[in-house]
Amino acid sequence: MRRTRFVDTSTCGVGSSKDEARRTNWKRDYATRLVLTDLLSLLWSILGAALVTVGPAEPLVAPAAVSGFGLNYVAASGALILTWLLALAASGSRDYRRIGTGTAEYKAVVQSSVVVLVIIALTSFVLRVEFSRAFIFTALPAAVGALLLSRVLWRQWLKLHRVRGDFCSRVLLVGSAGPATKIAADLRRHPEAGYHVVGALITAGDHLGDRLGDIPVLGRSSDDLLHAVRLGDADTVVITDGHNLEPERLRALSWSLEPGRQHLVMAPSLTDIAGPRIHARPVAGLPLMHVETPRYEGADRYIKRGFDILVSGGLLLLGSIPLAVVAVIVVSTSPGGLFFSHERIGKKGRPFRMLKFRSMVADADSELASLLKQQGSADTPLFKIENDPRITPIGRFIRRYSIDEIPQLMNVLRGDMSLVGPRPQVAREVALYDDAAARRLFVKPGMTGLWQVSGRSNLDWDESVRLDLYYVENWSLAYDVSILVRTVRAVLASDGAV
């Protein structure tokens, strides 16, 4: 019987030897581009710092045994740039498994920068070479900033290409139909991750069709793995539920894949748990996965509070004049007060008054019940009323760019809210929470949150709750900073705003 080769020509450049070479070489080409931009970033920041602070030809202050080599800041900058490039390579910051998504790439850049700082300190101590403090305090922050900025720009470029289907791994899902379907849906929602599902191998007898949704079924048994890999031209095999495969069979599968080009990935049955909470530790020769229980107390809580105070206070101070202009416009363009104060439910179910610039007509609350009834959402959690007639013309503008939310910085300073967290809701909506949704109340509500930057008002209730719970369970300060950056982008794009 002649077997037909499955070829998907819609994505990832499949179908010719030229495309195969492109798929094989993109990782090397992308890493080369990172090397070049890393070099340019370091040249610009370090040599620029030397030029501005001390002058490139200025000799280093050092003992006679060292100064006899005629070292100046040009030579020192060259050595520093070379050391930094080697540290970036050693940290794996250009590894294709770290690029595209997540924070691992950025962490590697920062860690390599810390290593360089330690090397500078050791060199200065051992050789008794004195570097200008102005040079160090200018060059190092500028270099780290330039490196991170270049990585951010390259990541945006890579995401655009991956959304179009380029530079991605071709994935064969192996397991039963249910987990395979879920993982396929999750990967499809995040094309920027670079995993394109080309087929499925269903090892359990719970699916008899030739397709799993829009994914072709390329086999029915683990014995068909190599044939399925060839049919789908896959380079990554994802085991969606390993309980259907014996350990010996899994080991044999890993041996059968082509080293360096094909990879085996295990997808645990853990969902919505971030990497920092997951630790793989060998115990008695077993690769056991430990999942830390989320905690909402201790030093992290005080770090988050300090960050909230510092950022909210700084933003209020810097934005005082523009906010005063907005206040005058709001009051002068429609009858009513400046602020809209509304009771919301905060941490542990405690009510508080949340502030906004008024964007609606006076006494807008009196019309809410009838509008909810007309919309048919009086008994469901509500985010926005479609085409709300109560919004004033200036209110529509300040809502579009979330300017009406800025007074909540005062709620953050008072401690009622945080900069990042689940969105605060009214008591009527909280009363509809089930046990899972009620976990949103374990932390302070936020001015922005994960669901706002993942679609803002365009997401349905279940997806919004899932994203809020993910944040509650996996909070970190770095995650807060990431969400704040994404919030700025979402606001400027008016993504999902009224």
For residue 411, give every residue at least 6 positions away whose Cβ sits within 8 Å of its Cβ, in sequence order, or none.
352, 354, 355, 417, 447
Q: Helix, strand, or coil here: 278?
A: strand
Type and span of the H or E element at 123: helix 104-127
For residue 171, list its beta bridge partners.
197, 236
C-alpha distance from residue 253 to each of 240, 250, 263, 265, 269 (Å): 14, 5, 10, 11, 20
Token pair 């429609």 is found at 334
Q: Helix, strand, or coil here: 289?
A: strand
Separation of alpha carbons 494 and 487, rounded Å: 10
Strand ranges (DSSP E) for 297-422?
A: 339-345, 351-357, 418-420
Helices 104-127 and 73-90, axial angle in degrees (round to 10): 140
- Burial class from Cβ neighbours inside 10 Å (0-12, 13-18, 19+) for residue 445 reads buried
Task: Tell me the per-residue pLDDT of 4-27, one tens digit each, with 9 for 90 and over.
Answer: 343 343 345 444 444 555 555 788
Q: Which amino acid is at 134?
A: A
How big is the CA angle at 322 (ends 316 and 326), to the nearest 5 degrees?
Answer: 105
The Cβ of residue 143 has, within 10 Å, a number of other Cβ atoms equal to 24
The distance of Cα 161 from the centroid of its chain, to the nearest Å, equals 18
- Burial class from Cβ neighbours inside 10 Å (0-12, 13-18, 19+) for residue 259 reads exposed
DSSP letter at 292?
Answer: P
> What is the structure's pLDDT at 296?
60
The Cβ of residue 63 has, within 10 Å, a number of other Cβ atoms equal to 10
How big is the CA angle at 87 (ends 86 and 89), to the nearest 5 degrees?
Answer: 65
How big is the CA angle at 325 (ends 324 and 328), to the nearest 5 degrees?
Answer: 85
> What is the structure's pLDDT at 498?
43
Domain limits, CATH 3.40.50.720, in the chain: 169-270
> What is the structure's pLDDT at 273?
57
Query: What pTM was estimated for this model as a whole?
Result: 0.62
Q: What is the DSSP string of 49-68?
A: HHHHHT-TTPBPB--HHHHT
Q: Per this entry, what is the length of the chain?
A: 498
Separation of alpha carbons 274 and 7, rounded Å: 34
C-alpha distance from residue 133 to each of 17, 50, 51, 82, 124 (Å): 55, 11, 14, 21, 12
How big is the CA angle at 349 (ends 432 and 340), to the nearest 5 degrees?
Answer: 85
Separation of alpha carbons 16 and 121, rounded Å: 53
For residue 149, give every residue at least 6 positions away whose Cβ sits within 8 Å of its Cβ, in sequence order, or none.
41
CATH fold label, 169-270: Rossmann fold (3.40.50)
**Nearest residue to 171 (alpha-carbon basis) of 211, 221, 228:** 228
Separation of alpha carbons 96 and 104, rounded Å: 11
What string of pLDDT tens digits covers the 498 residues of the chain?
334 343 343 345 444 444 555 555 788 889 899 999 999 999 999 888 888 887 766 665 555 444 544 567 777 888 889 999 999 999 888 887 788 777 788 889 999 999 998 988 888 777 777 777 888 888 899 999 999 999 999 998 998 888 887 888 889 988 888 888 888 888 888 888 888 899 988 876 655 678 888 888 888 877 788 888 888 888 888 888 766 666 777 777 777 777 767 788 877 665 555 555 565 666 655 666 666 656 666 677 888 899 999 999 999 999 889 999 989 988 888 888 888 888 999 998 899 999 999 888 777 666 566 666 666 555 555 455 666 767 888 888 888 888 889 999 999 999 999 999 998 888 888 888 887 788 888 889 999 988 878 765 566 777 778 788 888 877 888 888 888 988 888 777 765 444
CA atoms within a 13 Å half-sphere pointing along the CA-CB vector of 138: 17
Q: Where are the alpha helices (DSSP H) in 319-389?
A: 320-333, 368-375
Separation of alpha carbons 55 and 330, rounded Å: 53
Separation of alpha carbons 179 and 245, rounded Å: 14
Type and span of the H or E element at 177: helix 177-189
Q: What is the DSSP string of 183-251?
A: HHHHHHH-GGG-EEEEEEEE-SSS--SSEETTEEEEESSGGGHHHHHHHHT-SEEEES-GGGS-HHHHH
C-alpha distance from residue 381 to each of 96, 309, 399 (Å): 42, 31, 20
